[in-house]
Structure 1
Amino acid sequence: MCPLIPNGIIGTGWDFVIALILGIAFGFILEASGFSSSRNIVGVFYGYNFVVLRVFFTALIVAMVGLLYFSYFGWLDLSKIFILPTYLIPMIVGGVIMGIGFIMGGFCPGTSFTAVAIGKLDGIVFTIGLYLGIFVFTEAYPLFGDFYNSGDLGNVTITDAFGIPASWVAMAFTVVALAAFWGTSLIEKRVRKNRSEYKF
């Protein structure tokens, strides 16, 4: 049955409408989760707030298990879902650069727009820097285009790479998520206790 557009159940003219609705819903959830605050976001790096980790782990597990159940009941054809190609080394380098920007600026691209939507000055400054970065990247692309497109592994998944059944991967991630929820709650309590003890 699903995906709806690739299977012709609804016309292709609805793709932008659906994207707009999903985008608004995503932004609402980010704001409701506290992601418009740079303090909440960078808290994961300093150990006092792990809301980012919990929300994304929860989204990952719900989506993963949901897709598996939809596939099991025949409601979704997983072979028609787009999987982003993996460029291993460029993606690792890009992840490091984004992580540094994440810590320095307090936002990722998505959360910065959430902050802009509610009028936060730091979100506006970060978004201006984001667009400047996009401009510089575009202009400098010919210098590192070969590296950017190197190490193409294709549309590979963990299941494909290691030959592990998808159900086992989902279970492993669920166990890791539960352990992370428990571990981060202990870290938060410890960090907040230490911070309160050193207040003058």
Structure 2
Amino acid sequence: MGPLIPNGVIPYEWSNIIAIIIGIAFGFILEASGFSSSRKLAGVFYGYDFAVLKVFFTAALVSLIGILYMDYLGYLDMSALYVHPTYLWGAIIGGAIMGVGFVAGGFCPGTALTSVAIGKIDAIIYVVGIMVGVFIFSELFTLFQPIYEGSFMGNITLMDSLGVNRYWFVFLFTALAIVIFKLSDMIRKRTKKIFY
């Protein structure tokens, strides 16, 4: 049955409307969770607030388990899902640039747009910086293209690259999440005295 749009259950013309609705709902949830606060987001790096880590780890885990169950029950064909192609060096360099921007500005692109929607000036400056970066990248694309398109690894998943059975991967990912949640609680308790 699923995915719904590729299998014709929902007409392709609805894809942009559905994307907008999901985007608005995602932004609303980010704001309701307090993720429009750069202090809350930067708390992960300083050890006093791990809400972002826990929420996104939980979302990834619930999505992964949900997709596997839907596939197992025959409601979803995992092989028909889109997997973004992996360009190794582009991903590493882009991830490093975004990581530095996240630590320096206290926002990721999604949370920055959520904060812009409620009028935060620091987020507006951050998004202007993103737009300047996108403009520079697009204008100098021919210079960056060998790095951007280099080390193409295909449409692989983490399960594929590790060579692990998908059910074992879910088990290991769940165990890792539990360990990280426990460690983050221990770190937060130790740093609580410093920041509060």
Alignment TM-score, normalising by the size of structure 1: 0.95
How far is 1:194 from its partner? Answer: 3.2
2: CA distance, partners of 1:43 / 1:131 = 25
Gaps of 5+ in 1: none
Tell me the equivalent position of 1:99: 99
**Structure 1 residue 39 corresponds to structure 2 residue 42:** no
2: CA distance, partners of 1:24 / 1:147 = 33
Tell me the equivalent position of 1:108: 108
Matches within 5 A, 1:151-162: 151-162=151-162
Which amino acid is the alignment partner of residue 88 of structure 1? L
Equivalent pairs, count: 196
Please give the per-residue CA displacement for 1:53-108, whole angstroms capped at 9, x wherever unaligned.
00110100000000000001000000110001111122111111110000111111
Tell me the equivalent position of 2:49: 49
2: CA distance, partners of 1:179 / 1:160 = 23
**Structure 1 residue 29 corresponds to structure 2 residue 23:** no
Tell me the equivalent position of 1:167: 167
Matches within 5 A, 1:13-162: 13-162=13-162
Q: Do the aligned partners of 2:3 and 2:80 also contact (CA within 8 Å) in 1?
A: yes
1: CA distance, partners of 2:41 / 2:171 = 27
SS in 2 for 1:48: coil
Please give the per-residue CA displacement for 1:96-133, whole angstroms capped at 9, x wherever unaligned.
11100001111111110000111111111111111111
SS in 2 for 1:27: helix
Identity %: 52
Please give the per-residue CA displacement for 1:12-54, whole angstroms capped at 9, x wherever unaligned.
1110111011001111111122110000111101111111100
Q: Do the aligned partners of 1:35 and 1:41 also contact (CA within 8 Å) in 2?
A: yes
1: CA distance, partners of 2:191 / 2:159 = 37
2: CA distance, partners of 1:181 / 1:169 = 18
1: CA distance, partners of 2:194 / 2:141 = 46
Q: Do the aligned partners of 1:33 and 1:55 also contact (CA within 8 Å) in 2?
A: no
Gaps of 5+ in 2: none
2: CA distance, partners of 1:148 / 1:116 = 29
2: CA distance, partners of 1:126 / 1:26 = 20
> In angstroms, what is the RMSD of aligned CA positions?
1.0
